């Protein structure tokens, strides 16, 4: 397998929110200014950064460093989304498909395009091609590999320059671009010469480049908690991680995590660029002054949830997952790090009303119970010092009009590759002892069943048993569906009898 055969581009629009504000109001270009959300400044232009101002810092702190700092309110994302859509359309015209990451980042696999351009060059033209923009570590490093990656990456750098020029000419936005043989390296090398520039990386220098990034936290995808655990092993830098034996990592992490960390430290990334259709996730984050009280955190999430629902109201899909994010500040290390955890959403939490996706009655309160339960799992019993909260819908499914079956949550989803826990050899939990597993109908997913509250398990068991007695049916679930969205609350239909199960679902939260 030729590990250098691909050419991947990562496009990152420079200081996106702030740059959009500059386009909308050119008078801001020569001033230090930032975009404010709540009490924090989420991003700023490079003039402001020259005063030592950093992103995601309290406004008060930023004004102390630069009293002349101009602040623009950035809570309304509509203009940013318009520009993001235009960027995506422009890139789609050029490349056909991209992998979109948020509002301002895109990956493109341009391997075929680079090879096609190379095939059209004469021998003389091939001899005269040069890199566009900076390269790492030096030009000689590219010629040390005989797989042909040098020419592919040269052409890739020229393609990158062309797309940067087009974005600037048509949208008045500058961007920074990384060109490499995989996604991880393309993203990281693109940060070397920001803003308004590009960098191409020699494949042979991947490990050397990663070592120069120094801190393990600089590896994309390594969160604060993972970085802390790595440091507990005495690993202080990416170079240390490169030299650490795999066995040592495997003794401390799962096999999958150990492999991922080791490969990332060496610049190895086998993930492919996946063309984006509809977004796989829709999220919002709000920064805030330091919070140490749980009720204040809950208020932040309360305000964020309806805003997030507005972002999917025109989507013909509903989310079945919700990622809860917080960012904690570590006073001892004087550094912030994000932590996330996932919880489950029921389809009945959403309704299609007036051609828009809306929350069903009582769904806001039910979702908030799950959010705060998930928050408690992230924090544990430790004191916290939080300066950002976020919510992100994911695991989208096409909306099914009409009723939603409870069976869709309890049945085995073999089509998704999920497996039953029938062969689980772990000791039964207290919950499993209360409700006999052997009494559960065969089409119920054991992993989902275990996450249901005891009260709901018992209620469903009584319904199944009653159904079996009255109708000689062992599968009550097939005749039990949630009432239509227009009915009040979540109700279970069973042979004409309606049972309110709102209270039983209050604590439903996927671990």
What pLDDT sits at residue 330? 79
> Hey, how many other C-beta atoms are within 10 angstroms of the C-beta on 131?
20
What pLDDT sits at residue 412? 43
Contact call for residues 67 and 8 (beta carbons, < 8 A)? no
Catalytic center residues: 105
- 85 contacts 71 by C-beta, under 8 angstroms: no
Mean residue pLDDT of the chain comes to: 81
What is the average per-residue pLDDT within 90-116? 91
Helix (H) or strand (E) holding 468: helix 454-471
Q: Which residue has the higher pLDDT, 347 or 159?
A: 159
Is the pLDDT score of 419 beyond 60? no
Are 501 and 492 within 8 A, CB to CB? yes
Distance separating alpha carbons of residues 173 and 91, to the nearest angstrom: 13
**CATH superfamily, region 214-265:** 5' to 3' exonuclease, C-terminal subdomain (1.10.150.20)
In angstroms, the CA 384 to CA 465 distance is 46
Q: Domain spanning 84-209: which superfamily?
A: Reverse transcriptase/Diguanylate cyclase domain (3.30.70.270)
Q: What is the pLDDT of residues 357-399, one digit of tens each?
A: 899 988 999 999 999 999 999 998 788 999 889 999 999 988 7
pLDDT at 447 over 50: yes
- Establish whether the linkage from the previous residue to 307 is cis, with ω within 30° of 0: no
pLDDT surpassing 50 at residue 261: yes
The domain locations on the chain are 16-78, 84-209, 214-265, 282-398, 407-505
pTM for this model (two decimals): 0.63
Judge contact between 284 and 307, C-beta under 8 A.
Answer: yes
pLDDT band at residue 356 under the 50/70/90 scheme: confident
Task: Band the pLDDT of 283: cuts 50, 70, 90.
Answer: confident
- Which residues lie below 8 Å from residue 36, measured CB to CB, with a gap of 6+? 42, 59, 71, 72, 73, 74
138, 172 contact by CB (below 8 A): no
Confirm whether 16-78 and 84-209 share one CATH topology: no
Domain boundaries 16-78, corresponding CATH code: 3.40.1170.60
Is the domain covering 282-398 a CATH 3.30.1490.100 domain?
yes
Q: Taking residues 156-161, report their average pLDDT.
A: 97
Please give the residue that has the higher pLDDT: either 488 or 40.
Answer: 40
Structure tokens at 279: 């977004």
Residue 424 has pLDDT above 70, yes or no: no
Q: How confident is the model at residue 135 (pLDDT cuts 50, 70, 90)?
A: very high
């Amino acid at each position: 397998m030729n590990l250098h055969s691909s050419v991947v581009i990562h496009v990152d629009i420079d200081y996106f929110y702030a740059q959009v504000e500059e386009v909308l109001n050119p008078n801001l270009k020569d001033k230090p200014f930032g975009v404010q959300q709540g009490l924090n400044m989420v991003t700023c232009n490079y003039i402001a950064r020259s005063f030592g101002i950093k992103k995601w810092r309290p406004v008060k702190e930023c004004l102390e460093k630069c009293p002349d700092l101009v602040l623009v309110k950035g809570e309304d994302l509509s203009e940013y989304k318009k520009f993001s859509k235009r960027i995506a359309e422009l890139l789609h015209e050029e490349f056909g498909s991209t992998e979109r990451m948020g509002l301002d980042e895109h990956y493109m696999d341009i391997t075929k395009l680079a090879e096609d351009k190379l095939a059209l060059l004469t021998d003389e033209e091939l001899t005269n091609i040069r890199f566009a923009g900076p390269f790492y570590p030096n030009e000689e490093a590219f010629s040390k590999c005989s797989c042909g990656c040098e020419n592919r990456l040269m052409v890739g750098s020229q393609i990158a320059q062309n797309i940067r020029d087009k974005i600037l000419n048509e949208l008045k936005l500058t961007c920074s671009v990384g060109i490499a043989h995989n996604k991880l390296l393309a993203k990281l090398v693109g940060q070397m010469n920001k803003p308004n520039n590009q960098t191409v990386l020699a494949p042979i220098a991947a490990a050397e480049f990663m070592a120069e990034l120094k801190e393990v936290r600089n590896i994309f995808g390594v969160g604060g908690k993972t970085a802390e655990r790595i440091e507990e092993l005495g690993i202080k830098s990416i170079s240390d991680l490169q030299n650490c034996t795999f066995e040592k990592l495997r003794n401390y992490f799962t096999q999958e995590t150990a492999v991922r960390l080791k490969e990332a430290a060496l610049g190895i990334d086998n993930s492919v660029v996946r063309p984006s259709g509809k977004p796989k996730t829709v999220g919002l984050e709000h920064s805030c002054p330091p919070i140490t009280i749980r009720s204040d955190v809950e208020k932040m999430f309360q305000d964020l949830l309806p805003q997030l629902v507005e972002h999917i109201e025109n989507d013909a899909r509903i989310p079945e997952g919700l990622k809860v994010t917080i960012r904690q500040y570590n006073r001892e290390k004087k550094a912030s790090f994000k932590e996330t955890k996932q919880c489950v959403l029921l389809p009945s939490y959403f309704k299609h009303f007036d051609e828009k996706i809306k929350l069903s009655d009582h769904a806001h309160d039910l979702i908030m119970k799950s959010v705060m339960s998930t928050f408690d799992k992230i924090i544990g019993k430790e004191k916290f010092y939080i300066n950002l909260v976020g919510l992100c819908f994911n695991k989208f499914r096409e909306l099914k009009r009409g009723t939603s079956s409870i069976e869709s949550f309890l049945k085995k989803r073999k089509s998704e590759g999920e497996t039953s826990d029938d062969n689980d050899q772990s000791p039964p939990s207290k919950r499993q002892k209360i409700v006999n597993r052997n009494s559960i109908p065969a089409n119920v997913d054991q992993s989902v069943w275990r996450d249901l509250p005891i009260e709901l398990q018992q209620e469903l068991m009584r319904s199944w048993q009653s159904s079996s007695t009255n109708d000689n049916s062992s599968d009550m679930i097939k005749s039990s569906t949630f009432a239509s969205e227009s009915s009040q609350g979540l109700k279970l239909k069973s042979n004409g009898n309606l049972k309110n199960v709102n209270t039983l679902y209050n604590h439903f939260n996927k671990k």
